[in-house]
Structure formats: structure tokens, C-alpha cells
Amino acid sequence: MATSCSLISTFFHFSSSLSRFTNTKPHSHSSPSLLHLPRPLHQPTTLFFLRPQQPSPSPSSKPTTTTTTLLPKLSFSSSSCTFLDSCFLFCTSVALSLTLFLTGADSASAFVVTTPRKLQSDELATVRLFQENTPSVVYITNLAVKQDAFTLDVLEVPQGSGSGFIWDKDGHVVTNYHVIRGASDLRVTLADQSTYDAKIVGFDQDKDVAVLRVEAPKEKLRPIPIGISADLLVGQKVFAIGNPFGLDHTLTTGVISGLRREISSAATGRPIQDVIQTDAAINPGNSGGPLLDSAGNLIGINTAIYSPSGASSGVGFSIPVDTVNGIVEQLVKFGKVTRPILGIKFAPDQSVEQLGVSGVLVLDAPANGPAGKAGLQSTKRDSYGRLILGDIITSVNGKKVTNGSDLYRILDQCKVGDKVIVEVLRGDHKEKIPVILEPKPDES
């Protein structure tokens, strides 16, 4: 565009210069700078640029003759000048037309030259990170089937939306479980605004992670670079990309405010350990989106915020990528996460505190579960309606248990089939009971 405009400017300048030369009127013969020679009518015209030698300004010096040097420049006849003027005008029009046609510029911006914006090195790095990682971020729409009360027609109504990111070239998309919970259908919109129906590969309610799959061309799928979260430091810069309030591909920046935080799963209440705390703005719709480090690598999934109003208050939480990595591998391979359980239902921590004891009170231990098979006792009522407390778990494998979070944390370090020693407070005495952990039942 700049070259075309320069070419047009040259044509205009040259044409106007030629017009000035051909339309020059005779100056006074008293001018010492120009020498006008008589010429016959219809004879070639010769233009000269004269280089005068100025006389000495001294009043006592003798008069000197002014010498001029004639420099031949251009020679045209009057008829050829008119013809050349027309040619230049025609060439200028053609060049202008070609410029507008090739560049596709509209009439208002055809000759607007935009000066490149000068950015600092950190700004350039942020812009580059956003441009390189945006194609990996997707927009997820949660659709629910509802029946119209009057016409009885069955309709698919959007009941929520969130973010996600492309995990691999096979079309796997990772997001939060609470983004897809209760969906009858899911739609994934890629960065180029193409939309595809998505199928649920598997999910982990306890850690709020889900994996979807879309049948999209591989050339449209750009997996996000996977990083590590074990070596993160408080204060390092992070970037969150998502779709808050339905505004697609929004970038927010911040720093890591804290590490090894603990939050509860929105679905099951089970604690999620080693969560990353950040002050990067995370709003409704950012859930499931990636949290990136300054190199553009994935270090977490944006999952929750701490806010009384529901909007960003500067305290956001992300599930670390080291946790996500293991969960996604199991979901892709088996469609589920195999996690060991004791097979009990326990009372809220506040209820146990009111009793003045420390531990986990067993409310129910089904007979077909690991704890029931091992002989743990449930809370029940006698024939008079009086409450008889069940076993209170105080430690597992020698590790103290003061609340439900402690129990979950210990079980997360175990595997299916492991034999653990559960210490319980039964009545006024303690007992140690061996329990063999079993896998969590499948969930629909």
C-alpha cells in the first residue's frame, strides 16, 4: 500500500512540475539570474537552469560582467508537452485504480497511512502469548432439553456456558465438570467460530475436571502447551484466557497470590488440594479456561472465585496442571477415574465439634462397602429414639484425622486395593480396624 501511494505521489509531482515548466511566463530581461533567448514560433523549446556568479559587493571595485552557465535540461515541443501531460494524467489514474483494486481499501481509508504502534517488550510478549494461545481456547455451551408448558414442544435451551482448551489432536477438550453438569447436549465453538457437537468422554466430580471430544478437522485443532505446576512461585506473572459473561477470548493478567490452597469441589464437596490462588480477573464464564505462565504453558484450570457478589474480587483459584494431567490421562484411557474410598457417609465437621470431639463421625457404613465389611459401626437410634453415635475416625495409617478434609487428603495418597489401618473411637475406648480400599462406584 505504501509503495503504491509513493508511486502515485511521484506521478502527481512530476506532472505538476512539467506543467509549470511548459507554462512559464517570460520574466523581465533585467533579472540577472535568467537568460531568455529568442526563439522562432513552432520551434523546440529549451529550458535552462542558470548558475550566476555574483559580483563583489565592494563599492570601489570595477563593474564586472555577470557570467552564466547554461545547463540543458529538457527539450519538448509544445504539441509533445500536451501529449505527455495527458499520458502522465492517464498513468496516474490507472495507478490509483489498480491500488484501490489490489488493496481492497474503501474510499475513506485509501490514503490513510497508519503509523505502527510502539509497544514495550513486555507488552509485545503479552500480545504474542495471546495470539499464539487463543486458537487453543474454546467456548462451551451447555444445552438442556425442556418442554414447553403450553405447546408441549421439546426444546434445547442454553442453560450455561464456559471455557475449555484443546488437549490433543484427537479432539479432546478439557474443562470443568460444573460447566457441563446437567447438560443434555454440548456444543464447542473453536477460535474460528466453527461449532461442533461434543461428546462427554469422562469426568471427575471430586476434582471438577471433565473431558469432551469433538469431531473437528485436525488442522483446526491446536493443542495447548502443557507445563508443570510443581515449581511455581508466589509473585510470578500468570495469564487467564476465557469467555467471561459470553465475551469470547478475553485475556486477563495477574500474579500467583498463593500456593497449596484448598477448595471444595462444587459437585461433591470433596477437597481439592494444592490449588493455585491468583489475582487475575476470573469471572463467570472463565471456568474451564487455561491459566498460563509467561512462557505460554498451561499451569492450571480456572475453576472458582472467592466473591460475595459473584464477580471477580481478586481472589481466583485454579486446579494445578500436575493434578489435571493424571486425571485427563485416566479419563481418556478408561473413561473414568479410579479413586479409592472407605465407603462411608460422615457428619458435617460442625456437628462433631459440637460434641466436643475431634475426628470424623460415621453416619452410615453400608454392609456392602469397604468400611461395612470391615465392621465399622454407623450412627443409629435405639428403640426409644435416642441417638447412638457411631464410630469416630481419629486416624488412618497413623495419620491424624480431625475433619473430613484430612480423611480425603489421606485417601488421595492411597490406591485401590490398599489395606489401611483405621483407628476409631467407639464409645469410651479406641479400636484399630483394618480396611481394604475399593474403587469408587461408576456414576452416570
Please tell me which residue in 163, 257, 287, 318 is annotated as part of the active site: 287
What share of the chain in percent tops pLDDT 90? 22
pLDDT at 291: 93
- Residue 171's nearest CA partner among 242, 243, 225, 220 is 220
Among 38-42, 157-161, 229-233, the least confident range: 38-42
Cell 470391615 -> residue: 374
pLDDT at 201: 92
Say if pTM beats, i.e. exceeds, 0.95: no
Spatial separation of the C-alpha atoms in residues 288 and 303, rounded to whole Å? 6
Query: Nearest 5 degrees, angle CA 177-CA 273-CA 398?
Result: 130
Q: Can you list the domains of the chain with their CATH numbers?
A: 132-334 (2.40.10.120), 340-439 (2.30.42.10)
Among 141-155, 163-177, 205-219, 288-302, the least confident range: 141-155
Please tell me which residue in 161, 172, 178, 206 is annotated as part of the active site: 178
**Mean pLDDT within 201-217:** 90
Helix, strand, coil fractions of the chain, as percent rounded to 5: 25, 35, 45
Is the pLDDT at 53 greater than 60? The verdict is no
Per the CB < 8 A criterion, the answer to whether 328 and 219 are in contact is no
Is the pLDDT at 31 greater than 70? The verdict is no
* Exposed e or buried b per residue across 150-170, where buried means at least 16 C-beta atoms within 10 angstroms of its C-beta: eeeeeeeeeebbbbbbbbbee
Cell 489490489 -> residue: 102
Is the pLDDT at 172 greater than 90? The verdict is yes
**Mean pLDDT within 245-249:** 73
pLDDT at 151: 60
Identify each DSSP E strand in 265-418 by its residue range. 271-278, 290-293, 298-305, 316-320, 340-341, 345-346, 360-364, 380-381, 387-388, 392-396, 399-400
Ramachandran sector of residue 108 (left: φ over 0; alpha: ψ -120 to 50; beta: rest): alpha
Please tell me which residue in 4, 161, 172, 208 is annotated as part of the active site: 208
CB atoms within 10 A of CB 94: 11
Active site residue 248: no
Per the CB < 8 A criterion, the answer to whether 407 and 401 are in contact is yes
Identify the band that residue 165 occupies on the pLDDT scale cut at 50, 70 and 90: very high
- The grid cell for 124 is 509485545
pLDDT in tens, 290-337: 999 999 999 999 887 765 555 556 688 999 999 898 899 889 988 888
CB atoms within 10 A of CB 132: 14
CB atoms within 10 A of CB 395: 19
Active site residue 77: no
pLDDT at 14: 47
Active site residue 208: yes
Identify the band that residue 30 occupies on the pLDDT scale cut at 50, 70 and 90: very low
Spatial separation of the C-alpha atoms in residues 426 and 96, rounded to whole Å? 94
Cα 106 → chain centroid: 32
pLDDT in tens, 377-410: 999 888 888 888 889 999 999 899 988 888 888 8
Spatial separation of the C-alpha atoms in residues 396 and 342, rounded to whole Å? 11
- Residue 299's nearest CA partner among 228, 350, 351 is 228
Ramachandran sector of residue 249 (left: φ over 0; alpha: ψ -120 to 50; beta: rest): left
- Residue 247's nearest CA partner among 212, 286, 197, 289 is 286
- The grid cell for 374 is 470391615
